[in-house]
Structure 1
Amino acid sequence: MKIFGREPVVVLNALSAALGLLVSLGFTGLTAAQAGAIVGVVTAVFGAVAAAMTRPVAPQAFTTVVAAAAVFVATFGYEVSQSTIGAVNGVVLATLTLLTRPQVSPSRPGAPVAG
């Protein structure tokens, strides 16, 4: 299955990073804590869906946990601005997606599993 000619996991991570960009530009009208909570939850949910769509699950699950944790730590541990929350989300997602991509393959019935 492809979305806009791309693997669904890449699209989900890009959507999560785009949400981080919207937050960093201040289009949401939310407080930094509200924006961080929303970005963290969306990152976790999109990551869980992406993990369900890839094999092995571990690299995508790791990406999700680290990205969501980074957003939550930035939001609630340091009380940083919305722009910093968006930047942390975008950088972590982009970096981890690039690093873990060679280790996963789309999950398809009957397809060989990367390993």
Structure 2
Amino acid sequence: MKLFGREPSLWISTIGSLLSLVAGFGLDWLTPGQAALVIVALNALVGVANGLRVRPVSPVVFTYAVGSIAALVAAYGVDVSQSIVGLVNGAVLSILALLLRGNVSPVESLPEAVQVHPGKSPY
């Protein structure tokens, strides 16, 4: 996966160094801790983008994204309780199940002649 022709890790490291530079000036709106959390959120969002491209889609990447974004929001002083994060995670997973369930189907058992048994080669 590439973003604007570059690997995501290059973008994240560049953004991280720029945020660290800005945080180093002692501005009120960005502390070093908040800069680190922005990088965590960016990593989670890039992980979600990558997770969408992999099949089957793993709901876990979305759970990490919700948790890291909640940590970022809390770092800026918004009161985010664990119950709210859990509710949002539950909603995200329900939406994912609704969207992705149509892409998953059960696999029928293979005929006995085709099944591979431990220790026996099918050939």
TMscore range, shorter length: 0.3 to 0.5
- Say which one has the larger Rg: 2
Q: Which has the higher contact order (CA 8 A, sep 6+)?
A: 1
TM-score (norm. length: structure 2): 0.35
